[in-house]
Amino acid sequence: MEIKILGTGCAKCKALDKVTREVVEEMKLDATVTKVEDIMEIMTFGVMTTPALVVDGKVVLKGRVPNANEVKQLLTK
């Protein structure tokens, strides 16, 4: 599983990165988590509001920070 956190480095982006990494570790998922801060790369996903969560190339959440349970649901779909 490939997970990308899209965000330019704001507090919400950092919070999404933190909660996502915690969930991946807790669930022992075989996943690569990367942080994308380049605005041009973020725009290639069609995202205009950050933070955003991308799982295997598909944007599954944008514009807010979910709680851990919601991240678990998004990663197990």
Q: Both ends of the chain: CA-CA distance in Å?
A: 12
Closest by alpha carbon to 65, among 23, 26, 15, 21? 15
Instruction: Give pTM, 2 decimals.
Output: 0.94
Q: Tell me, what CATH number does 41's domain have?
A: 3.40.30.10
The total domain count for the chain is: 1
Please tell me the distance from the alpha carbon of residue 74 to that of residue 23, in angstroms, as a whole number: 11
List, for residues 16-55, the tens digit of each pLDDT value. 999 999 999 999 999 999 999 999 999 999 998 999 999 9
Task: Locate 64 and state its tokens.
Answer: 């807010």
Residues annotated catalytic, as ranges? 10, 13
Torsion angle, alpha carbons of 28, 21, 4, 55, to 10: 40
Q: How confident is the model at residue 4 (pLDDT cuts 50, 70, 90)?
A: very high
The boundaries of the domain holding residue 23 are 2-75
